Amino acid sequence: MSVAKFKSAHEVAIGRESLNGLKDYMNNLGMKNPFIVTDKGIKNSGTLEIVTALLKDIPYTVYDNVAPEPEMSIVEECKKAFLNSKNDSIIAVGGGSVMDTAKIMAVYADYDGPLDNLFGEGKVPGRNTPIIVIPTTAGTGSEVTNIGVLSDTEAQVKKGIVSNHLLVDVAIVDPIMTISCPKKITAASGIDALVHAIEAYLSNNANHITDALALRAMKLIINSLPKAYAQPSNMDAREDMAMGSLLAGMAFGNAGVGAVHALAYPLGGRFHISHGVSNSLLLPYVMEWNKMACVERFRDIAEAFDEPIAQKTNEQAADLVIERLHKICKDVEIPKKISSFNIPESILSELAADAIKIERLLRNNPRTLSEQDILAIYKSAY
Ligand SMILES: [Fe+2]
């Protein structure tokens, strides 16, 4: 194994009531009047109030205009609102869309050039504005990654900014914040977290640290996601999901994700299918493709899933994993096939042409893919 480096949020607070430490973290960072980035769903569900109730005598501004799969224009608007507000810091309260918007805005606030210049790896010059993130979904892992993703509606693609300046100062992962998460979002973001753990474990870039995190994440998520979906107020299930998603975020934030994400991005970008759902549509089919490249690792996944594999060959254990993936996507009622979304089959070759360009992710995938291979996977998932 070559040299492995590990990065995460500067500080992470996890578990029930971890949110009670918010004011202390703010004091440590010198945050006197925060700008809160959120969305209308979080505000209307009362979830935002759990945070603002802790601020009492602290003045703050709320920006609640973040939309799902946020566009670049949202970041522009958010930056303008932040600069006008004269607030000194940022708190993100939301899912991946909110956290990504806030993280990108935090580095963009200090930057004089166009937002376009920051896309890609290592293009961000720095960050001066302190930022705390409080996730309200168990899924994206954005609270601990150095990645932010936005939609470019003109080019119909998702674009990523990768920079260690996107690592937040503090991530507070308190399961109470996910209790009001709607069922559909619980399902989609939960599958996204599972994909993060699996792809990180199978990544060509995995190491001992990310392996440990990914396996624990898989175990937590496979057992708790169906429960969190079936009983939204089951606090144990919500807590396990919050932890699983955090660990998966730490794993993929360092090992990377692979072909599931690479193939999901063009689907989400063109047809506005949520990130978790587009991942779910591809997950079993990409794993079927990957299996022969790393069947021993699939056996480890089967073990994490508590499958009865003592008498099974690696090949059989891998098949049990794939069956289980079909089952969990079905359990959380995500449609099985791309064709369920009124997408014409003729477009699949264009999606494959887009996906093959996502070299940043494809190079992590354990089995090499050509454009033809990608098209074949889209067809099997159609
Ligand atoms: Fe993801």
CATH 3.40.1190.10: does it fit domain 11-178?
no
Which pLDDT belongs to residue 213?
A: 98
Centre of ligand 1 to C-alpha 196, Å, is 6
**35 DSSP β-pair partners:** 61, 90
Cβ count near 310 (within 10 Å)? 7
Distance in angstroms (rounded) separating the CA atoms of residues 46 and 41: 9
Distance in angstroms (rounded) separating the CA atoms of residues 332 and 281: 12
Cβ proximity of 167 and 250 under 8 Å: no
Using pLDDT thresholds of 50, 70 and 90, give the confidence band for residue 69: confident
Which pLDDT belongs to residue 159?
A: 86
Using pLDDT thresholds of 50, 70 and 90, give the confidence band for residue 115: very high
Centre of ligand 1 to C-alpha 84, Å, is 32
Instruction: Label each residue of 222-290 as H, E or C.
Output: HHHHHHHHHCCCCHHHHHHHHHHHHHHHHHHHHHCCCHHHHHHHHHHHHHCCCHHHHHHHHHHHHHHHH
In this structure, what token pair is assigned to residue 157?
Answer: 């693609």
Q: Note the helical H segments in 86-138.
A: 96-108
What is the percent of the chain where pLDDT is above 70?
A: 100
Centre of ligand 1 to C-alpha 376, Å, is 22
Distance in angstroms (rounded) separating the CA atoms of residues 188 and 183: 9
Cα dihedral 234, 236, 241, 244 in deg (nearest 10): -170
What is the percent of the chain where pLDDT is above 90?
A: 93
**162 DSSP β-pair partners:** 121, 147
pLDDT surpassing 80 at residue 22 = yes
- Give the residue from 330, 288, 138, 136 showing the smallest Cα distance to 220: 138
Centre of ligand 1 to C-alpha 265, Å, is 9
- 174: three-class secondary structure by DSSP: coil
pLDDT surpassing 90 at residue 158 = no
Centre of ligand 1 to C-alpha 87, Å, is 31
Cα→Cα distances 289→60, 214, 367, 373, Å: 50, 20, 8, 9
Centre of ligand 1 to C-alpha 42, Å, is 20
pLDDT surpassing 70 at residue 1 = no
Start and end residues for every CATH 1.20.1090.10 domain found in the chain:
183-381
pLDDT surpassing 90 at residue 152 = no
Using pLDDT thresholds of 50, 70 and 90, give the confidence band for residue 10: very high
Centre of ligand 1 to C-alpha 86, Å, is 33
In this structure, what token pair is assigned to residue 296?
Answer: 């021993």
Start and end residues for every CATH 3.40.50.1970 domain found in the chain:
11-178
Centre of ligand 1 to C-alpha 91, Å, is 22
pLDDT surpassing 80 at residue 155 = no
Centre of ligand 1 to C-alpha 163, Å, is 17
Which tens digits make up the pLDDT trace of 302-329? 999 999 999 999 999 999 999 999 999 9
Strand blocks (E) in the chain: 11-14, 34-37, 61-63, 89-94, 120-121, 131-135, 147-152, 157-162, 170-173
Centre of ligand 1 to C-alpha 199, Å, is 10
Average pLDDT, the chain: 96
Which tens digits make up the pLDDT trace of 87-103? 999 999 999 999 999 99
Centre of ligand 1 to C-alpha 61, Å, is 29
Q: Mean pLDDT, to the nearest integer, of 54-76? A: 95
Which pLDDT belongs to residue 269?
A: 83
Which pLDDT belongs to residue 349?
A: 97
What is the CATH topology of the domain spanning 183-381? Dehydroquinate synthase-like, alpha domain (1.20.1090)
Which tens digits make up the pLDDT trace of 268-304? 888 989 999 999 999 999 999 999 999 999 999 999 9
Give the DSSP H or E segment for 317: helix 314-331
**178 DSSP β-pair partners:** none
Centre of ligand 1 to C-alpha 231, Å, is 24
How many Å is the Cα radius of gyration of the chain? 20
Centre of ligand 1 to C-alpha 312, Å, is 31
- 150: three-class secondary structure by DSSP: strand
Distance in angstroms (rounded) separating the CA atoms of residues 307 and 317: 8
Centre of ligand 1 to C-alpha 149, Å, is 10
Centre of ligand 1 to C-alpha 362, Å, is 14
Q: Mean pLDDT, to the nearest integer, of 213-239? A: 98
